[in-house]
C-alpha cells in the first residue's frame, strides 16, 4: 500500500492545491496532506485556521487525511510510513526550487520518491501568496480558492481588517 504525503504551508489552501490533492488521491491508497509548522516563518493564517480550512475544503474522500508536522519532511515521511512525497509543479518558475528540494530530500532519504503532479493550466499562475495579496487588498478570490477560504477572507474583511 503506497502512502503519499503532500507537505506544504497551505497559507491558505487554494484550488490549485485541491486539484493536486485530488489527482494524488486517485494514484495512491492513502494521501496525507501535511501542514508545515515552521517556527522561523510567521504564516498569515494561524495553524489551526489553515488546518480547519483544509478540512472544510477537501473532497470527502476516505483516503485523504489532514495532519501537521514540525521538522524535516523526510523524517515526517518515515514516521508516517510514506514512500512518496507529492509536490505540485505549476510552471518552469517552480522547477529550480522544487528540484533543489527533491534533491536535498533524496540525499536525506533515498527511499522517499518525490513525485510532481501538474495542476490544470488555469491554476498555473496561482499561489497562496497571490491569494493573500488580492484578498487583503479587497479583491475577489472566489474563483481561485475553495468556498470556506473565500468565506474566511470575506469575514476577515467584514471584521474591518481590510481597508
Ligand atoms: O507550500 P510550501 O511553503 O512551498 O512548502 C514547502 C515545504 C513545506 C514542502 C518545505 O519547506 C519543507 O519540506 N519544509 C520542511 C523542512 C525540510 O524538510 N527542509 C528540507 C527540504 S526543503
What pLDDT is stored for residue 105 in this prediction?
Answer: 98
Residue nearest atom 18 of ligand 1, based on CA coordinates = 72
What pLDDT is stored for residue 39 in this prediction?
Answer: 85
pTM above 0.75, yes or no: yes
What pLDDT is stored for residue 40 in this prediction?
Answer: 87
Query: Does the active-site annotation cover 17?
Result: yes
Residue nearest atom 11 of ligand 1, based on CA coordinates = 8
Q: Verify whether ligand 1 is closer than 6 Å to residue 104 (CB atom).
A: yes
Strands (E), the chain: 3-8, 30-36, 64-69, 84-88, 113-117
> Would you say the C-alpha torsion 129, 132, 136, 140 has a positive or negative sign?
positive
The residues of the chain scoring below 50 in pLDDT are 163
What pLDDT is stored for residue 163 in this prediction?
Answer: 46
Query: Does the active-site annotation cover 157?
Result: no
36-49 pLDDT tens trace:
999 888 999 999 99
| Alpha helices for 59-163 (secondary structure H) | 73-79, 92-108, 128-136, 147-156
CA angle (66 as vertex; 61, 72 as ends), nearest 5: 135
CA distances from 21 to 37, 89, 126, 138, 157 (A): 19, 12, 15, 28, 28
Cα 3 to chain center, whole Å? 17
What pLDDT is stored for residue 49 in this prediction?
Answer: 97
What pLDDT is stored for residue 158 in this prediction?
Answer: 74
> Would you say the C-alpha torsion 11, 89, 54, 30 has a positive or negative sign?
negative
Amino acid at each position: 500500500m503506497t502512502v503519499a504525503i503532500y507537505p506544504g504551508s497551505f497559507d491558505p489552501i487554494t484550488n490549485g492545491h485541491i486539484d493536486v490533492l485530488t489527482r494524488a488521491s486517485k494514484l495512491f491508497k492513502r494521501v496525507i496532506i501535511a501542514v508545515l509548522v515552521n517556527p522561523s516563518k510567521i504564516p498569515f493564517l494561524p495553524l489551526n485556521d489553515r488546518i480547519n480550512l483544509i478540512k472544510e475544503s477537501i473532497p470527502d474522500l476516505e483516503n485523504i487525511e489532514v495532519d501537521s508536522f514540525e521538522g524535516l519532511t523526510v523524517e515526517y515521511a518515515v514516521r508516517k510510513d510514506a514512500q512518496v512525497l507529492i509536490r505540485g509543479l505549476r510552471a518552469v518558475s517552480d522547477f529550480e526550487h522544487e528540484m533543489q528540494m527533491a534533491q536535498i530530500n533524496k540525499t536525506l532519504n533515498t527511499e522517499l520518491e518525490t513525485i510532481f503532479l501538474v495542476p490544470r493550466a488555469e491554476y498555473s499562475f496561482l499561489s497562496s501568496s497571490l491569494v493573500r495579496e488580492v484578498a487583503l487588498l479587497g479583491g475577489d478570490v472566489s474563483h481561485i480558492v475553495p468556498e470556506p477560504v473565500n468565506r474566511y477572507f470575506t469575514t476577515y474583511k467584514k471584521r474591518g481588517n481590510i481597508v
